[in-house]
Amino acid sequence: MIDVAGQRSLRKKWIHFFTEVTAVSFFVSLTAVDEILEEDPTMNSLQDSLQAFNEVSHNQFLEKTDFILFLNKKDLFANKLKSTSLSVCFPEYQGSQDMDSCLNYIRDQFANNKPKNKQMYWHNCCAINVPMMKELLGCVVDLIIDINIRKSSHI
């Protein structure tokens, strides 16, 4: 596992190193719904994550790579939804402000931005919740094994 950071200026520097990748784990901070980027105060942070996901998932070096989307900080997101509308980030959003509806909408935005030929798996999580992450990462390991078995049977 390699953390490639989220800064825009670093994205193009690392992507060509990955040619034999089974899956990309892409973490998104749900609290970014009403935050802006330090390097671009006109850009919403969650929209930037969506744009980065779009760029990475369409990259030629990751043509045969599946994606595992982690919608992180769900605990803080639940609190944020009490005072912040999802429409701050997604003006077209007209749904309910309950957490499940908002999570599903955000997940769908990412799913709609990936190439149609790629699988996307997703999880809502709180990365500082150790028991949750231990169980979740165990599931991810199993998933990666399954992906490798599936891909090796197509050779």
Q: What is the pLDDT of residues 137-153, one digit of tens each?
A: 888 888 889 888 887 87
Residue 75 annotated in ligand binding = yes
* Residues 6 or more apart in contact with residue 120 via CB below 8 angstroms: 66, 67, 68, 69, 110, 111, 114
Architecture of domain 8-152: 3-Layer(aba) Sandwich (3.40)
Residue 66 annotated in ligand binding = no
Residue 118 annotated in ligand binding = no
pLDDT (tens digit per residue) in 104-149: 999 999 999 999 988 899 999 998 989 988 998 888 888 889 888 8
Residue 141 annotated in ligand binding = no
Residues 48-56, mean pLDDT to the nearest whole number: 92
Residue 127 annotated in ligand binding = yes
Per domain, the residue ranges of the chain are: 8-152
Q: Is the dihedral of CA 133, 134, 139, 145 positive or negative?
A: positive
Residue 91 near residue 39, CB atoms below 8 Å = no
Residue 151 pLDDT: 78
Residue 74 annotated in ligand binding = yes
Residue 7 annotated in ligand binding = yes
